[in-house]
Amino acid sequence: MAYAAVTSLMRTIHQSMELTGCDLQPFYEKLESLRTILENSCNITGDHEELTILEVEIVEVAYTTEDMVDSESRNVFLAQNLEERSRAMWEIFFVLEQALECIDSTVKQWMAASDSMKDLKPQTSSLVSLPEHDVEQPENIMVGRENEFEMMLDQLARGGRELEVVSIVGMGGIGKTTLATKLYSDPYIMSRFDIRAKATVSQEYCVRNVILGLLSSISNEPDDQLADRLQKNLKGRRYLVVIDDIWTTEAWDDIKQCFPDCNNGSRILLTTRNVEVAEYASSGKPPHHMRLMNFDESWNLLHKRSLKKKVLILLNLKILGNKLTLKCGGLPLAITVIAGLLSKISKTLDEWQNVAENVSSVVSTDLEAKCMRVLALSYHHLPSHLKPCFLYFAIFAEDEQIYVSELVELWAVEGFLNEEEGKSIEEVAETCINELVDRSLISIHNLSFDGEIERCGMHDVTRELCLKEARNMNFVNVIRGKSDQNSCAQSMQCSFKSRSRISIYKEEELAWCHNSEAHSIIMLRLFKCVTLELSFKLVRVLDLGLTICPIFPSGVLSLIHLRYLCLCFYPCVLQYLRSKEAVPSSIIDIPLSISSLCYLQTFKLYSPFTCKVGYPFILPSEILTMPQLRTLCIGWNYLRSHEPTENRLVLKSLQCLNQLNPRYCTESFFRLFPNLKKLEVFGVREDFRNHKDLYDFRYLYQLEKLAFGFYHPYDACFLKNTAPSGYTPQDPLRFQTETLHKETDFGGTAPPTDVPTLLLPPPDAFPQNLKSLTFRGEFSLAWRDLSIVGKLPKLEVLKLSGNAFKGKEWEVVEEGFPHLKFLSLDDVYIQYWRASSDHFPYLERLFLKDCYSLDSIPRDFADITTLALIDISKCQQSVGNSAKQIQQDIQDNYGSSIEVHTRELL
């Protein structure tokens, strides 16, 4: 991971320049040139001890230099006089000069070693020497997928007379070659086309060999003018050419000129793992994405590949079949490997049950020999900037659905992402996620309501490759909490001395990180209250969001290298519940010295989800002097002093501010965050009502997402007045504890019946670049207030939930929402919705959930020509019926179709 380590050092140098004002640009540019050399020399695969040793040297120098630059830059930032500042600045220059000299020398050795190995590459590249089709399914058995086969057959046999390119895309081992081969050999296809030819391109292809492969399918005669000869063989005849396992757009450009368009219905069928290649080559039609097999298809494939009927009689298929097939996750390649093992053992019940019980280890060990060769092609073909992104998935648990928003936050601070001109680091991270999806290395689990990727994941078999490579590169070490703790702990002690990333599954395993030099530590399970000893002084990413801390863990204040800090803090306030004694702020204070973490980019502070008593965090105003902050998520909170003072900085880096108390939504406060893109205003009813003036967001010029969240715990201790009589910023604040809900005769809670909690400002007081607006909670706003929202010039997303608006009828008036694309109503008490297509002319996706009283969707929505999806859950049956009617009207009137999803209708 030399490339990633050098990139991380470059990021650290850039942060040092921002923090200190030192001119370190020459060092940055020199590293950039060395990184380019590494990028161009990192395509050699296989085990090469010499390159590995050199890579380890580069990684160690880069990480050690990062730590030293961090320390000295912090000394510059905190220097009390000019002498201290100058001494620390010269130390930074000295450290970087020494490091660059060492890295430069090592890179030269790397280049020499790489050049000497180029001629040996075909013999040493064991992982990439086996094409996918040689392992995928040797007998080309295709089970299920009848609909896919018929659809692809129709695409090849129907259509116009012009030459068309049809693409099949999917992860390694999913059955692309098998489907293409079955299509190629189908009797109808054979009769339809005058001539057929096929060739495999693979990752390391030779144009001559590809053309020879195609020629061998149609002619046994050699010819020096290969491309010309191929064209002559195809010209004037209706042909089908299968190009299997193509990896790059360049490869397609090299061979596509060989295929003449004779205007006779000829077809080219491509298989690839890369969506970009598929879309680049296809003739305007979207590529076909191969899906994983379902359980029945998986079991049938296993049966055909290995089982005998007499054995089936003996086995409990429900139990054994689940164990064997579900673990394979619907991937034909993994099923075939298991079947190959089963076919070699005797068909006794005991042995088969043993395989079923140990199927995980069977898959992993046999994949080492076969499946890994196929899947490793995808990894080794990745560009250098994507390899650390792929390996990072080793941190997460098996079958975990990973929230993309959290992944982006982690990648943004890890240091291995390249900075790109005109893009934020978060946008770079999102691009990398999409690239991995396009390369079929990760999969989309579900989209958010506005069509963005919300959660993603990795197939179990691909994850085995990811874990293997991450361990080999010392990029991620996963502590699995095995029963043999002595041997496990012994192996981990070795890994903890290196700067890898560590993911932890059990709370006792955190103790094994004592004195660790880990780069990142991430807890992956919900743990009980613990007091943490944080002795890992070099850590940069610390995620303890699932570890409940009864007191603020003061140990984090000594972790000066931190870029990312996530904590779950639950102070002991129960003794003050319904007591006349006020809660002293010292219990819920966040220490003032949190501001000394000058590199902190993401700070997330949570309360436990199960907490019934609401309490605020008391934040020091000095938190607004942390210059590197990009994301601040701080729970329900109060600041000790929020009005700007001389020591306040304009936080130009701050992009996301979650759960800002409404008391601080002032013009002077917002001027501190000129580049803020996401803001959530969050508090209890009293906080909103104590904001005397209308909200004014107009100075948040870059703001794109704004949310109002209403906190409504059963009991809460809250600040009655912003500045109590005689109060000074140094005095301890005192909080009153009250029951915020009024109990009904039935033991429940009554909804509020008083005036609106939130008063909306006029349209010109909203940020004019706002694209997304959310109201979540019992604000008791009137539906007519939404006419203000409709005037926002760029609003595309509107989410209403938790009875934010009050009234049985929503009659959309005036010009409506002329730019809105996505609308979500969740737990909204509304019976009648009066609107026309003119009010939502560009609506694309409509989500309705828990709208129990709503009678129907406006019928006129059938005239919204952009409408593509209506998703309904837990609403009346009449709402589902109205959606189906709209779907039918669109089909009848416009000849187009929309998706309608309905679930749990009443």
In three-state secondary structure terms, 442 is: coil
Q: Which residue has the higher pLDDT, 872 or 492?
A: 872
In 689-808 the beta strands, taken as DSSP E runs, fall at: 705-710, 715-718, 734-739, 772-776, 781-782, 797-801, 805-806
- pLDDT tens across 802-839, in order? 888 888 999 998 789 999 999 999 999 899 999 999 99
Lowest mean pLDDT among 219-223, 496-500, 551-555: 219-223
- The rounded mean pLDDT for the chain is 78
Neighbours of 294 (CB within 10 A): 12
pLDDT at residue 496 is higher than 60: no
How many CA atoms, within 13 angstroms, populate the side-chain half-sphere of residue 666? 11
Alpha-carbon distances of 166 from 156, 205, 288, rounded to whole Å: 7, 21, 8
pLDDT at 472: 82
Mean pLDDT of 409-427: 90
pLDDT in tens, 752-791: 455 667 778 888 888 889 999 999 988 888 898 898 899 8
Average of per-residue pLDDT across 52-67: 88
* pLDDT (0 to 100) of residue 859: 92
pLDDT band at 679 (very low <50, low <70, confident <90, very high): very high
Check: CB of residue 413 under 8 Å from CB of residue 604: no
707 falls in which pLDDT band (50, 70, 90)?
very high
**490-494, 620-624, 691-695, 862-866 — which is least confidently predicted?**
490-494
pLDDT-derived band at 522, boundaries 50, 70, 90: confident
Residue 188 pLDDT > 70, yes or no?
yes
**Per-residue model confidence as pLDDT tens digits over 125-162:** 222 333 444 444 444 556 667 778 888 888 888 777 88
Strand order in the sheet with 402-403: 402-403, 453-457, 443-447
Q: How many residues in the chain? A: 906
Is residue 198 scored above 70 in pLDDT? yes
Give the side-chain half-sphere CA count within 13 A for 803: 16
Q: Which range, of 81-95, 434-448, 479-493, averages the lowest pLDDT?
A: 479-493
Distance CA 719, CA 717 (A): 7
The sign of the dihedral angle between the CA atoms of 404, 406, 411, 412 is: positive
Q: What pLDDT score does 530 carry? A: 56
- Residue 582: burial class (beta carbons within 10 Å; 0-12, 13-18, 19+): middle
pLDDT digits (tens, 9 = 90+) for 235-276: 878 888 888 888 888 888 888 878 888 888 888 999 988 888
Higher per-residue confidence, 738 vs 747 = 738
pLDDT tens column, 340-373: 556 555 555 566 566 555 555 555 555 455 666 6
Report d(CA 549, CA 607) in Å as an integer.
Answer: 10
Whole-Å CA distances, 53 to 109, 207, 261, 475, 726 = 11, 35, 53, 15, 66
| pLDDT, tens only, 159-172 | 778 888 889 988 77
Examine the pLDDT at 843 and tell me if it is beyond 60: yes
- Average pLDDT (41-59) is 71
Most confident of 568-572, 712-716, 849-853: 849-853
- Give the separation between CA 44 and CA 52, rounded to whole angstroms: 11
Given this model, what pLDDT does residue 305 score? 64
CA–CA distance, 341 with 353 (Å, rounded to integer): 13
In the chain, % of residues over pLDDT 90 = 25
From residue 849, alpha-carbon distances to 189, 546, 826, 828, 879 in Å are: 47, 29, 5, 8, 11
* C-alpha–C-alpha distance, residues 764 and 654, integer Å: 23
pLDDT band for position 549 (cuts 50, 70, 90) = confident
Higher pLDDT, 611 or 133: 611
Q: With 70 as the cut, is the pLDDT of residue 728 above it?
A: no
- What is the mean predicted confidence (pLDDT) over 278-283? 85
Distance between CA atoms of residues 90 and 24, nearest Å = 11
| Model pLDDT, residue 745 | 40
Question: What is the rounded average pLDDT of the residues 83-103?
Answer: 92
Q: What is the mean pLDDT of residues 225-234?
A: 74
**Residue type (1 letter), 789:** V
Q: Of the ranges 292-296, 310-314, 474-478, 650-654, which one carries the lowest mean pLDDT score?
A: 310-314
Predicted TM-score (pTM) above 0.85: no
Determine the average pLDDT of the residues in 530-545. 79
Strands 734-739, 715-718: pairing kind:
antiparallel
CA-CA distance, 735 to 349, in Å (whole number)?
Answer: 68
pLDDT of 482 reads 44
> How distant is the alpha carbon of residue 558 from its chain centre?
30
Question: What's the mean pLDDT in 285-314?
Answer: 68
Encoded tokens for 750: 């009554």
pLDDT for the residue numbered 30: 93
Tell me the percentage of the chain whose pLDDT exceeds 70: 73
Q: What pLDDT is stored for residue 744 in this prediction?
A: 39
- Compare 353 and 334 and report the one with higher pLDDT: 334
**Is it the case that residue 692 has pLDDT exceeding 60?**
yes
Residue 42 scores a pLDDT above 80: no
Q: Taking Cα atoms as reference points, which of 614, 608, 644 lies closest to residue 527?
A: 608
Confidence of residue 387 (pLDDT cuts 50, 70, 90): very high
550-583 residue pLDDT tens: 778 888 888 999 999 998 877 766 666 656 666 6
